[in-house]
């Protein structure tokens, strides 16, 4: 399974989602490889600083990304790629090799507009691949409270982009923003990270369920009982208290 997290707009939580997803799979005992396709290498520094056990590769050239992802797929349970903050050829390469794509989206008009361009690139990648591959979900991120008109309008607008939207949203929280600087995941940040951890873990479980469905549909010969069990988010939250 190759999971790509992409959006042409920076600051929408792309790296945060990609890194937390990778850490989540590692802590569940999966063999994970990570491709940092963003020229800033923020995710690489975060992962190395946290000490999570996974293979990390930094690559921004489109052809090299295609070759790297294809070579990593057979030896890993999941390959996660953090795309660049632009509609570069490296983004197109990820869409051409990924099985499943996550597109985090903010709630402002510029963020929704940039997400629409990313969705357009995804649709064109599906045309090239001759079907509905890669599967994809939008993720609402950096969301303010429901009392804000901007949040309510964004909830309506995002459903017009033509892709399914994850039910769980990531709200604008200090712990989520601080996790990268502290080189950790929100579920290790104790009481101050409790709400952020609850949201992130719920979202990752939701994403994992979608990804399992995608993987099982394309690999019906794989034995379901060989897939690791869900990691218990209540247990993690209890440890964080």
- Taking CB atoms within 8 Å and a gap of at least 24, the contacts of 210-216 are 210/100, 210/135, 210/137, 210/166, 211/1, 211/3, 211/78, 211/99, 211/100, 214/1, 214/99, 214/100, 214/135, 215/1, 215/99
Instruction: Read off the pLDDT of residues 125-140 as tens digits, 9 standing for 90 and up.
Output: 999 999 889 999 999 8
Instruction: Read off the pLDDT of residues 149-164 as tens digits, 9 standing for 90 and up.
Output: 555 666 677 777 889 9
Q: Tokens 């570069």 identify what position?
A: 88
Instruction: Read off the pLDDT of residues 24-82 as tens digits, 9 standing for 90 and up.
Output: 999 999 999 999 999 889 999 999 999 999 999 999 999 999 999 999 999 999 999 99
Of the candidates 118, 134, 153, the residue with the CA atom closest to the CA atom of residue 211: 134
Domain extent listing, the chain? 2-240
Domain 2-240 has CATH 3.40.50.300: yes
Residue 224 pLDDT greater than 70, yes or no:
no
Residue 95 pLDDT greater than 80, yes or no:
yes
What pLDDT was estimated at residue 227?
Answer: 30
- The better pLDDT of the pair 137, 109 is held by 137
Percent of the chain with pLDDT over 90: 66
């Amino acid at each position: 399974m190759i999971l790509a997290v992409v959006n042409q707009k920076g600051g929408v939580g792309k790296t945060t989602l990609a890194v937390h997803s990778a850490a989540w799979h590692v802590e569940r005992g999966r063999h994970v490889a990570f491709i940092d396709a963003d020229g800033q290498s923020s995710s690489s520094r975060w992962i190395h600083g946290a000490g999570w056990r996974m293979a990390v590769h930094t690559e921004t050239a489109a052809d090299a990304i295609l070759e790297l992802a294809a070579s990593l797929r057979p030896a890993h349970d999941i390959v996660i790629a953090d795309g660049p903050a632009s509609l570069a050829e490296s983004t197109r390469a990820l869409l051409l090799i990924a099985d499943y794509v996550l597109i985090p989206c903010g709630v402002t008009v510029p963020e929704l507009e940039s997400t629409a361009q990313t969705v357009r690139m995804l649709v064109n990648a599906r045309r090239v691949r001759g079907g509905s591959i890669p599967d994809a979900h939008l993720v609402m991120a950096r969301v303010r409270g429901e009392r804000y008109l901007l949040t309510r309008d964004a909830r309506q607008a995002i459903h017009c982009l033509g892709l399914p939207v994850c039910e769980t949203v990531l709200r604008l929280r200090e712990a989520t923003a601080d996790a990268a600087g502290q080189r950790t995941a929100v579920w290790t940040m104790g009481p101050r990270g409790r709400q952020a951890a609850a949201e992130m873990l719920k979202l990752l479980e939701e994403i994992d369920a979608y990804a399992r469905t995608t993987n099982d549909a394309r690999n019906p010969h794989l034995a379901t009982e060989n897939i690791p069990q869900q990691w218990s988010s209540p247990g993690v939250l209890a440890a964080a208290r």
